[in-house]
Amino acid sequence: MISLLKNGRALLIITPENRRYLTGFHSSLGYLLIFNNQQILLLDSRYFEAAKKSITDKNITLVLLKNIFEQLKAYIEENGIEEILVETENRYCDIEPLNDLPVNILFSSSLSEALTQRRAVKNETEVKNITKALRIAEKALKETMNIIKAGVTENEVAAYLEYKMKSFGSENTAFETIVLAGKRTSLPHGVPTNYKIKSGDPILLDFGATYNGYKSDITRTFFVNCVSDKNAEIYNMVLNANKIGFKELKNDVDLYLPDLKARESFLDYARYFTHSLGHGVGLEIHESPNLSPKAKGKLTNGNIVTVEPGLYFEGKLGIRIEDMVLITQNKAKLLTKFPKKLTVIK
């Protein structure tokens, strides 16, 4: 990203996750201005005191945000800045103050791409944070299994799961918790309702925790009281695809390949696998790299991705099993520890 810098050019980081990634400090609003050897972080009074305490990087100058237009104008004039690169994600956002600045504002895909690529490769601290977020989710799931039984609603299960994650130190859910039972499991991204779990139902839980801003993502599908032979067979097909997908993950592998291999393992059922095999996870729940059939590029050491094959039969049944995987030297490390063999909750 720094290679994008040159004389007379500044980078302005507006997207919250990118700003957090580069400074270690989260704020819903703020501006990180980078030029020459300077990094100026402008934050308003809501965040200023907390940032003063938490930002230890001596290269970052913290400045109280008062009037972004006037403040940017002053930096531009004092430092001979002629153009400012802004992430393309902000193209459609309301960044009015930028319009009248006496410089070229360029929405730069090179800047966005450079940040995406950097964030896709996790350092040791990031791996620790994601692993911790995953352990919190797994611990909460283990406890939640104790309350899953006929008569309990999807909403009650979801609330308990979220309560447990929070109790174990999660800052927030990683995304909207999915708990679906019975026929409703066929909705890959359905939302929990007051549907009461029945004996023999499958129950699908897809959720995650957040730790130091980093997210986890896990899906397990269980059966309540009993499971039919047919459902057990489908479950084991998904489990098999999960393992095949995992085996394909290593440094330098084409991104589309693990999806292809997992999909092929479904044979005639492949048409019921209606989404991609997985996605990168970090400060955002979906980030690079994307393990889809159309993905271009290769896996790299330091990538953290999900492997989440699923089969969905409209109005009948859905099963998904999702793990998180770290790509390291020559192999893939399964970060998820939660068991995934067919489980009937009695």
Our CB check for Mn ion shows the closer of 31 and 207 to be 207
Which of positions 142-201 make contact with Mn ion (CB under 5 A)?
Answer: none
Q: Of 39, 177, 265, 306, which lies in the binding site for Mn ion, with binding defined by CB under 5 A?
A: 306
Q: Which of the stretches 81-89, 117-125, 216-224, 311-319 binds Mn ion when contact is defined by CB under 5 A?
A: 216-224
| H helix or E strand, kind and range, residue 19 | helix 16-23
Residue nearest to Mn ion (CB): 217
Contact between residue 210 and residue 173 where contact means Cβ atoms under 8 Å apart: yes
Q: Which of the stretches 52-60, 183-191, 247-255, 300-308 binds Mn ion when contact is defined by CB under 5 A?
A: 300-308
Contact between residue 141 and residue 338 where contact means Cβ atoms under 8 Å apart: yes
Our CB check for Mn ion shows the closer of 71 and 173 to be 173
Our CB check for Mn ion shows the closer of 90 and 131 to be 131
Quote the CA–CA distance of 296 and 284 in Å, as a whole number.
20
Q: Compute the least distance from the CB of residue 320 to Mn ion, in Å.
A: 9
Quote the CA–CA distance of 339 and 123 in Å, as a whole number.
27
Q: Compute the least distance from the CB of residue 306 to Mn ion, in Å.
A: 4
206 closest CA partner among 219, 193, 216: 219
Our CB check for Mn ion shows the closer of 244 and 305 to be 305
Contact between residue 219 and residue 161 where contact means Cβ atoms under 8 Å apart: no
Quote the CA–CA distance of 141 and 178 in Å, as a whole number.
13
Quote the CA–CA distance of 198 and 181 in Å, as a whole number.
8
Which of positions 9-38 make contact with Mn ion (CB under 5 A)?
Answer: none
Q: Compute the least distance from the CB of residue 282 to Mn ion, in Å.
A: 13
Q: Compute the least distance from the CB of residue 76 to Mn ion, in Å.
A: 42
Our CB check for Mn ion shows the closer of 135 and 215 to be 215
- CA atoms lying within 13 Å on the CB side of residue 253: 25
Q: How, if at all, do strands 178-181 and 218-224 pair?
A: unpaired
Radius of gyration of the CA atoms of the chain, in A? 23
Q: Compute the least distance from the CB of residue 322 to Mn ion, in Å.
A: 5
104: phi then psi, degrees, rounded to nearest 5: -80, 125
Our CB check for Mn ion shows the closer of 23 and 290 to be 290
Q: Which of the stretches 2-10, 131-139, 217-225, 337-345 binds Mn ion when contact is defined by CB under 5 A?
A: 217-225
Q: Compute the least distance from the CB of residue 278 to Mn ion, in Å.
A: 7
Would you give the distance in Å from CA 98 to the centre of its chain?
30
Our CB check for Mn ion shows the closer of 23 and 306 to be 306
Q: Compute the least distance from the CB of residue 295 to Mn ion, in Å.
A: 15
Nearest 5°: the CA angle 282, 285, 291 is: 85
Q: How, if at all, do strands 202-207 and 38-43 pair?
A: unpaired
Q: Which of the stretches 32-40, 47-55, 265-273, 301-309 binds Mn ion when contact is defined by CB under 5 A?
A: 301-309
Q: Is the dihedral angle over the CA atoms 129, 130, 133, 134 positive or is it negative?
A: negative
Q: Compute the least distance from the CB of residue 117 to Mn ion, in Å.
A: 21
Q: Of 87, 217, 259, 287, which lies in the binding site for Mn ion, with binding defined by CB under 5 A?
A: 217
Quote the CA–CA distance of 190 and 176 in Å, as a whole number.
10
Our CB check for Mn ion shows the closer of 51 and 165 to be 165
Q: Which of the stretches 89-97, 141-149, 262-270, 302-310 binds Mn ion when contact is defined by CB under 5 A?
A: 302-310
With a CB cutoff of 8 Å and minimum separation 6, the contacts of 34 are: 5, 10, 11, 12, 13, 40
Q: Compute the least distance from the CB of residue 87 to Mn ion, in Å.
A: 24
Our CB check for Mn ion shows the closer of 108 and 276 to be 276
Interface with Mn ion by CB under 5 A: which residues? Answer: 217, 306
